[in-house]
């Protein structure tokens, strides 16, 4: 019987993308994939998929091997412990808007290839990854991965799935199939100048409900917990299922 944590799967295209930095640095793909429990032959099968557990395990392996929390995708490594430190800062914020602002300011000190920004235009807020315009596939994937992490962390902070108006991917990836519509339950569009997502600005006023105590358990599982989809409904039942799924170690 398939366990709840493996019912949702990840496209092999995402595996290929997350390996771009390691491949560029000459690491042995077969060793990395074997440690994650992924068959190397799957890379040549465009319709194949891996479980969330396998994908999360591969993320952990890449982080440890490369000593980089963005897996070698940027020009400079994102130091280990950055995510933990950011989370400890954000659980002390009062609202989601404050958390976005403080979190992005924190990462602005660490990232040189792109800048995360929160913008508000009337009733719509946008989380944007903006770069200098010299985007390649590695940087494009780093930007949208950071967007996904920001979205998942935001949902966790307020214990709600935040409905999105739309999701923006880098234009350079327009020729690639994507799980974005299924993943975010929102329309996907492509832009040349930024990547990120948009949502109703009223969500910025939601209180942060997580605490330093709940953070400790979360950090033991991250990034696996961010792979649990905040989608479909925001019922108490769904959140209980999500927390139970997060407890499975990867």
Tell me the per-residue pLDDT of 105-114, one tens digit each, with 9 for 90 and over: 999 999 999 9
* pLDDT value of residue 119: 96
The 3-state secondary structure of 186-225, one letter per residue = CCEEEECCEEEEEEEHHHHHCECCCCHHHHHHHHHHCCHH
Tokens representing residue 151 in the block: 């979205």
Is the separation of the CB atoms in 149 and 223 below 8 Å?
Answer: yes
CA end-to-end span of the chain: 18
* pLDDT value of residue 223: 65
Mean predicted confidence (pLDDT) in 240-248: 37
pLDDT tens-place string over residues 7-51? 578 889 889 999 999 999 999 999 999 999 999 999 989 899 999
* pLDDT value of residue 203: 98
Identify the CA nearest to 133 among candidates 51, 64, 47, 195: 195
Cα radius of gyration (the chain) = 17
Average pLDDT, the chain: 85
What contacts 24+ positions apart, CB below 8 Å, involve 184-192? 184/151, 184/231, 185/231, 185/232
Provide the pLDDT confidence category of residue 83 given band limits of 50, 70 and 90: very high
CA 204 to chain centre: 19
For residue 28, give every residue at least 6 positions away whose Cβ sits within 8 Å of its Cβ, in sequence order, or none.
none
Does the structure show a pLDDT above 60 at 229? Answer: no
CA 192 to chain centre: 20
* Burial environment of residue 130 by CB neighbours within 10 A (0 to 12, 13 to 18, 19 or more): middle
């Amino acid at each position: 019987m398939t366990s709840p944590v493996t019912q949702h799967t990840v496209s092999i295209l995402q595996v290929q993308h997350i390996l771009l930095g390691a491949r560029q640095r000459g690491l042995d793909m077969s060793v990395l994939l074997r440690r994650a429990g992924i068959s190397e032959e799957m890379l040549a099968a465009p319709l194949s998929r891996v479980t969330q557990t396998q994908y999360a395990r591969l993320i952990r392996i890449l982080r440890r091997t490369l000593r980089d929390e963005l897996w070698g995708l940027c020009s400079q490594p994102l130091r280990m412990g950055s995510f933990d430190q950011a989370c400890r800062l954000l659980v002390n914020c009062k609202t989601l808007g404050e958390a976005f602002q403080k979190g992005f300011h924190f990462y602005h000190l660490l990232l040189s290839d792109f800048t995360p920004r929160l913008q508000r235009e009337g009733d719509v807020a946008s989380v944007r990854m903006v770069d200098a315009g010299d985007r390649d596939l590695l940087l494009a994937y780093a930007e949208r991965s950071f967007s996904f992490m920001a979205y998942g962390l935001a949902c966790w902070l307020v214990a709600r799935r935040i409905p999105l108006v739309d999701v923006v991917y880098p234009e350079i990836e327009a020729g690639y199939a994507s799980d974005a519509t299924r993943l975010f339950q929102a329309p996907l569009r492509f832009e040349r100048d930024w990547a990120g997502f948009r949502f109703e600005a009223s969500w910025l006023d939601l209180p942060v409900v997580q605490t330093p105590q709940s953070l400790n358990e979360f950090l033991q599982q991250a990034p696996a917990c961010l792979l649990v989809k905040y989608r479909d409904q925001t019922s108490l039942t769904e959140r209980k299922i999500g927390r139970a799924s997060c407890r499975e170690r990867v």
